[in-house]
Amino acid sequence: MDPAGLAVCLVSGGMDSCVTAAIAARENGSLAFFHASYGQRTEKRELTAFHDIANFYSVSKRLICSLAHLSEIGGSALTDPNIPLPEASLHRSDIPVSYVPFRNANMLSAAVAWSEVLGGSRIYVGAVEEDSSGYPDCREEFFQSFQHAANLGTRPETQIEIRTPLIHMTKAAIVKKGVELSAPLHLSWSCYRGEEIACGQCDSCLLRLRGFQQAGVIDPIPYLKGGSRQVGEWESG
């Protein structure tokens, strides 16, 4: 607890960042919300969720950071419409096509710059290692190495701690933590495909739905008909 401190929180608008924001709100005196826009397919819907969550926590300091170069660079199904998003496969071990090359470093670099100017002492990132899709820049050791780079690449008086409170949690534990902290999960958005109703079939939807199911909690957002049934099929398949 640092009631006087300012924390920058990376908020995509998804479930994980929503719960991370709830944790950051508990642990800090004031918050600044950072959102990255990089040509992701559901950018508009994510941004709505971002602002809804920011309003929920009465956060006035907001930075919408354009990382349009990530879209220009491409190499990911999230930013290049020519690369199809495959049906989810939760047993896969390789890195999926939705990996956006070095995205988290691009976001963190901007967030560290912002935090340095704001005089913030912490940055919160809702990355999840074990239960995630295997992105290399979602692993704890990546964040630790980036922490080291941030220490060395900023002013000596700048001390920013990068916190990843969900990094070793399962999606089910994240749902439970969100419920415990009254995080506004109904305002969050996780789907990679839809912008009005979540598809229930992409990686991100499947992981979310499985988390709610395992936590014994009803997901408050609507899904396309048959979406949530997909999880049951996968569990028994």
- The Cα–Cα gap between 79 and 221 comes to 24
Exactly one of 62, 74, 173, 179 binds its own copies (CB under 8 A); that residue is 74
b/e burial code for range 113-129 (CB count within 10 A of at least 16 → b): ebbbeeebbbbbbbbbb
Rg (CA), the chain: 17
CA geometry: angle 134, 184, 18, nearest 5 deg: 30
Exactly one of 55, 89, 145, 159 binds its own copies (CB under 8 A); that residue is 145
- The Cα–Cα gap between 192 and 221 comes to 14
Q: Which is nearer to its own copies, 142 or 189 (CB)?
A: 142
- The Cα–Cα gap between 191 and 187 comes to 13
Q: Which is nearer to its own copies, 105 or 179 (CB)?
A: 105
**222 counts as binding its own copies under rule CB under 8 A:** no
Question: Could you tell me the smallest distance in angstroms from the CB atom of residue 138 to its own copies?
Answer: 9
Question: Could you tell me the smallest distance in angstroms from the CB atom of residue 229 to its own copies?
Answer: 34
Which residues form the interface with its own copies (CB under 8 A)? 63, 65-70, 72-75, 95, 99-106, 108-110, 112-114, 116-117, 136-137, 139, 141-142, 145-146, 148-156
